[in-house]
Amino acid sequence: MDEIMKALKKIQLELDDQKKTIQDSGKNVTEQVTQNINKILEEKIFALEEKHEKLKETVDNQDKRINFLEKQARQKNIVFFGIEELESSYDTLEKNMLEWIEQHFSVKLSYSDLQEVKRLGKKGDRPRPVVVTFLTLGIKIKIFKQKRALRDTNYYMKEDSPKHVLEKRNQLQEQLKAEREKGNTAFLKYDKLVVLKQTSKRKFSPSPIKLTENMPKERNTQTNKKNKS
């Protein structure tokens, strides 16, 4: 009977060892599988992130190119505001704009100097802005330089900027105001704020009083020289 019990205990111990070995092997297999899965996932995530960065770079480059082309397309444009809607057709709008430009800027243009003329937006109670595309950039600059001629009138004109540029310019208004309050020369150039800081104060000339104080001495020396001669 004792021998049977010893044999059973021995078998039980062997079974326990085998069970532990199986558990350890299973644990090692699980860890290995987990590591392999994590490695595969990391590689896939890295590949996706790299692909995303390349796509983002491509989109950014395309946006820059589109913005550049849009800027070039609008380069010869001026938007005029406040001009009454009296035209009945495209031809009369062209004619009215030529007459209006000559009246306010004393610049006589021909139909060939205009590439395109159009109203913006839907017709309403107020006159819609007029976008004029000039044939050359030189003509556009010549007209735009005379924007002061519209002072004290109900008319004004602006550059034809894309929507994202107008939004950026609106965001910069507070900063523009703050810089000017500091005494700096500041202005908006396209979608950038340009600030020219005051670096030096104006040098004043010597006081007139000191000059007059020195004058009698100079006269005295001159009279003394005459007397000696």
For 16-45, how does the pLDDT look when each residue is reduced to its tens digit (9 = 90+)?
777 777 777 777 778 888 888 888 888 889
Same domain as 107, residue 17: no
Same domain as 91, residue 45: no
C-alpha distance from residue 25 to each of 21, 31, 33, 225 (Å): 6, 10, 12, 122
Same domain as 91, residue 52: no
pLDDT at position 229 over 50: no
pLDDT at position 225 over 60: no
Same domain as 184, residue 129: yes
Q: Which pLDDT score is estimated for 199?
A: 61
Same domain as 122, residue 89: yes
pLDDT at position 73 over 90: no
pTM score over 0.85: no
Burial class (CB in 10 A: 0-12, 13-18, 19+), 105: middle
pLDDT at position 215 over 70: no
* CA separation for the pair 219, 216 (Å, rounded): 5
* Cβ partners under 8 Å of residue 123, min gap 6: 85
Answer whether residue 218 is part of any domain: no
Domain boundary among 55, 74, 93: 74
Number of domains in the chain: 2
Same domain as 172, residue 120: yes
Strand 130-134 with 156-159, pairing: unpaired
Q: How confident is the model at residue 154 (pLDDT cuts 50, 70, 90)?
A: very high
Q: How confident is the model at residue 145 (pLDDT cuts 50, 70, 90)?
A: very high
Answer whether residue 209 is part of any domain: no
Same domain as 110, residue 67: no
Same domain as 83, residue 192: yes
C-alpha distance from residue 196 to each of 28, 180, 185 (Å): 69, 10, 5
Answer whether residue 179 is part of any domain: yes
Share of the chain above pLDDT 90, in %: 38
Q: Which pLDDT score is estimated for 77?
A: 96
* CA separation for the pair 3, 128 (Å, rounded): 112
Give the 3-state secondary structure percentages of the chain, helix then strand then coil, rounded to 5: 60, 15, 25
Same domain as 184, residue 147: yes
Structural domain harbouring 109: 77-196
Strand partners, 195: 186
Same domain as 120, residue 70: no
Answer whether residue 201 is part of any domain: no
